[in-house]
Structure 1
Amino acid sequence: MGWFEFNAACLAFFLTHSIPVRPPVRPWLQARLGQTGFTVAYSLLSLAALGWIIGAAGRAPHVPLWPWAPWHNHLVLVLMLPVCLLLALSIARPNPLSFGGARNADFDPARAGVVRLSRHPLLLALALWAAAHVLPNGDVAHVVLFGTFALFAVFGGRLVDRRKRREMGPEWQRTINALAAAPLTSALATPAQGVRLVLGAVLYTALIAAHPHLFGVSPLQ
C-alpha cells in the first residue's frame, strides 16, 4: 500500500488525540460515559491508534537515512529505564495539572510524588521513549514517527498547561506555587512510591523480554 497506510494512521492518531479532548466534545462525552468511562475509552482508543501507527511504520517503504550501530541499542536500554519508572510513578495517581490523572480531588502538592519533578510525567516518558527510538530506526517512516512523537510530547505540555490554566482559573497558579514550595524528597519518599518503582523495574524487564515477540527485534542484539 506504499505510504497510504502510514499517512492514514498518522492522521487517525492525531484526530483521535485531538478531537475527544476539545472543549465542545469532551464535556459531551463525559456526560454520557462518566469521567471514568471517558478515561477508559480514550485510553483504549489512544492505544489502538498507537498500535496502528507503529505497525504502519513497519509496513511503509524502507528508505534508510543512516546505518544501525550497536550503541543505538545501548542508548535505548539506558533511556527506557527512566521511561518505565516514570510510567509506574505516573499512572493512576492524582495530577490535576496534566491529563489522565486519577482522584484529582485528593491531590496534595506537599505529597505530589513524581508530579513534584514534572507536571507532565507521562508526556516526559513519551518524549524519552520517542527520542530513544529515533537512532536505532534510521529510516524515513520511523524517523517521522518517533520524531513527531517527541515533538508532540515536548509541545503538548504547553498546550495542556494552557487548557488547565483556563479550566482551573486562579487555582492553577496556586497549585503551581504550592508544588514548587514542596521539598524534592516528596517526589519519592513514601512506601507507595517504592512499590511503584519496583513495578517500573518489572515493566522494564518485561518489555525487554517481550520486544522480540512484539516487534521482531531484540534490544539486546
Structure 2
Amino acid sequence: MLILVIGLVIFFSLHSVRMLMPNWRESSMARHGVMRWRMRYGLITLLAGAFIVMGFIQMRASPIWLWFPPIWTYHLAALIMLLSLFFVGSAIVPKTTMKRKLGYPLLIAIKLWAFAHLISNGSLADVMVFGSFLIWSIACFAVYRRRDRKAGVVYDDFDESSIPFNLAAFVFTMLSWFAIVFFLHLAVIGVSPLM
C-alpha cells in the first residue's frame, strides 16, 4: 500500500502545480526553459506512474474487498467509457465543439474514466486509485473554470467549422473504444470489461 500512496502523492503533487501555483509554474518554465521543465515533469510523472502501477499490482494480488459490484456495473462502465473516450478525442483533436464549449474536455474524460472504474470495481486499491483521480479531476476542473471566468475567458458555442473536427473525435472514440473493450483491456489488464 505504501508504494501506491507514494506514487499517488508524487503524481498529484506534480499535476496540481498548475492548479495551485500557476505563477510559480510559469516563472519556473521561463527561468529553466520550457524543454527542461517538460523533461523533468515527464520523468517525475513516469516515476510516479511506475510507483502507482507497482503498488496497484501488489494490492490487487491480495485484495481488500470493500464491496462486490454487480455484473451490470461492468456494462454501465463500458458505456461511460465510450463517453469518456469521446472527451479524450475532443481534447486531442483541435477545434472541437467540446473544447470550444468546455475548455477542459480531458478533465471531464478523467472524471468519467474514474467514475466508471469506481462503480465496477470494489477493492481498496481501486478506490484509492480511481477515487483520487475523480476527486483531483473535479477539483482541477472547478479551479480552472473559476480562474477562466475571472480572466474573462469566453467559451464559444457550436460553429459549423467544428464539424470535421467533431467527426475526427468521434472516429477516434469508436476505434479506441472497440480496441480497448474487445482486445486491449484484457491483453494489458487481464480483465475483460464485458465479463
Unaligned runs of 5+ in 2: none
Partner of 1:87: 88
- In 2, Cα distance between the equivalents of 1:51 and 1:144? 16
Deviations 1:172-210 (A, max 9, x none): 31x32xx3xx44x33885212212210121111222211
Partner of 1:207: 180
Which residue identity does 2:192 align to in structure 1?
S
Please report the TM-score for the alignment, with normalisation by the length of structure 2. 0.80
Q: How does 1:4-23 map to 2 (within 5 A)?
A: 4-19=2-17, 22=21, 23=23
Displacement after TM superposition at 1:140 (Å):
1.3
Question: Contact conserved, 2:77 with 2:116, CA < 8 A, in 1?
Answer: yes
- In 1, Cα distance between the equivalents of 2:148 and 2:49? 25
Displacement after TM superposition at 1:63 (Å):
1.0
Displacement after TM superposition at 1:65 (Å):
0.9
Question: Contact conserved, 1:123 with 1:156, CA < 8 A, in 2?
Answer: yes
- In 2, Cα distance between the equivalents of 1:58 and 1:215? 10
Displacement after TM superposition at 1:51 (Å):
5.3
Partner of 1:62: 63
Percent of aligned pairs with the same amino acid: 24
Query: Secondary structure of the residue that 2:64 maps to in structure 1?
Result: coil
Which residue identity does 1:216 align to in structure 2?
G
Partner of 2:171: 198
Deviations 1:70-112 (A, max 9, x none): 112101110000111111111263xxxxxxxxxxxxxxxxx66
CA 116–92 in structure 1, closer or farther in 2 if over 3 Å, else same: closer
Displacement after TM superposition at 1:213 (Å):
1.8
Partner of 2:121: 137
Bigger fraction of residues in helix: 2
- In 1, Cα distance between the equivalents of 2:124 and 2:66? 7
- In 2, Cα distance between the equivalents of 1:46 and 1:84? 22
Pairs aligned (count): 190
Please report the TM-score for the alignment, with normalisation by the length of structure 1. 0.72
